[in-house]
Amino acid sequence: MFDKTSPSEMIVHIGPQHPMQPGPYRLNVKLHGESVVDLDVEVGYIHKGIEKILESKTYLQGITIVDRMCYLAALSNEEVFCGCVERLAGIEPTPRSKYIRVIAEELSRMQSHLLGFGEFGHFIGYSSMFMFTIKDREDVLTLIEMLTGARITHSYLRFGGVRGDIPEGFEEKCDEVFKSVRKACDEYEGLLKSDTVFKERSVGVGVLTPEIAKEYGVAGPALRATGVPFDIRRNEPYLVYDELDFNVCTQKEGDIFARIKVRIDEIRESMYIIEQALDQLPKGPLFPEGTPYSKRTPVMRVPQGEVFFRVEDPRGEMGMYMVSDGSDKPHRVKVRGPVFPTMQALPPLIRGESIADVTAIAGSMDGCTSEVDR
């Protein structure tokens, strides 16, 4: 790209540390005037080596490690890790634990979307929107803290169950918070639809086509905003999602506005899912009876085998491949996160756009560089 720069073109580096950059990665942008001719994406600035760390830890210790891949999706990361171990070891979580996991993971989806939406507003200079969504996110984090004991990194799931039961007063607190969040979502949507500046910055800008999304493996809200109704909770149900009623939220335009709209709609659907799960929550134990698996399994040996399991992360398809050699530690772990394909889709998405819209487009994809650089 750099070797073919003409005298009328220039290279601009955005990142890795930039006041309008959503995470430590760098966009190398080739410009002709103010139009983007080409660009590439550089990642790896905070590489953590989590896959190799997991191979040196016991299975129980691994739960705290996967929380750190992306703190906005800690519970989804725990679900995919514990799901792999459960399939290798032949463990079936109890019905009550499955419902509690759904509740926890949908709360996590809500807080992630609220932060992503608010950060996007900050990227385009709409800083007051960030303050509004952070307030609502704090209320959701309070619910997560009531359930898991932690606001960000939870270590809540266990093989075959969860660490603790639904606390007293949790359902009443959900009713209170959800009433506030539903009102806020209606206000956000009305404000964005009526705000001329926001619409000029988002409608028809950064259009992702279904063909490009599929070619690069983009999933989650960015894919569903192109009209593709792919959601692992619906297409390959896990836990008890096949027993719950919910809509797969889609839009057809594929632009920034559509991506924001999908996330607001998914917040509403997550609340609906949680309410159903609380209503249908069965009685019973948190762990299978008569098995060695429970809250504390520090030296658990898993039978030899290999497995691939995937879940619907707030940002799309989170998959994990795990190989067991029969010891108390995984022999091989490979993560297929949702954000790396999303980042690879930025060049075709941004080419031809104005330099002024680069951060808005990148921010609307709601990437998590921590997960990319795992």
Q: Inform me whether the pLDDT recorded for 6 exceeds 90.
A: no
DSSP 30: E
pTM, entire model? 0.93
Query: How many other C-beta atoms lie within 10 A of the C-beta of residue 13?
Result: 11
State CA 66 to chain mean position distance.
13
Note the pLDDT of residue 296: 54
The residue among 297 and 238 whose pLDDT is bigger is 238
Rounded CA-CA distance 103/97 in Å is 10
DSSP, residue by residue, 117-170: HHHHHHHTT-HHHHHHHHHHHHHHHHHHHHHHS-SS----EETTEESS-PPTTH
Q: Inform me whether the pLDDT recorded for 198 exceeds 60.
A: yes
What is the CB-side half-sphere exposure of residue 221 using CA atoms within 13 A?
A: 27
Q: Which domains does the chain have, with CATH numbers?
A: 50-337 (1.10.645.10)
Rounded CA-CA distance 262/245 in Å is 18
pLDDT tens by residue, 110-151? 999 999 888 888 778 777 888 889 999 999 999 999 999 999
Residue 30 CB partners (closer than 8 Å, separation 6+): 1, 2, 5, 9, 10, 11, 36, 37, 38, 39
Q: What six digits make up the tokens of 220? A: 């989650």
What is the CB-side half-sphere exposure of residue 227 using CA atoms within 13 A?
A: 9
Residue type, 53: I
Could you give the 3-state DSSP secondary structure of residue 198? helix
Confidence band for 293, pLDDT divided at 50, 70 and 90 = low
What b-and-e string marks burial along 123-141, b requiring 16 or more CB atoms within 10 Å of the CB?
A: bbebeebbebbeebbebbb
Rounded CA-CA distance 144/112 in Å is 12
DSSP 354: B
Query: How many other C-beta atoms lie within 10 A of the C-beta of residue 61?
Result: 15
Q: Inform me whether the pLDDT recorded for 299 exceeds 90.
A: no
User: For the chain, how big is the Rg over CA atoms in Å?
Assistant: 21
Q: What six digits make up the tokens of 90? A: 């032949």
What average pLDDT does range 207-228 have in this prediction? 93
What average pLDDT does range 320-332 have in this prediction? 94
Q: Inform me whether the pLDDT recorded for 18 exceeds 70.
A: no
Query: How many other C-beta atoms lie within 10 A of the C-beta of residue 15?
Result: 21
Residue type, 10: M
Confidence band for 87, pLDDT divided at 50, 70 and 90 = very high
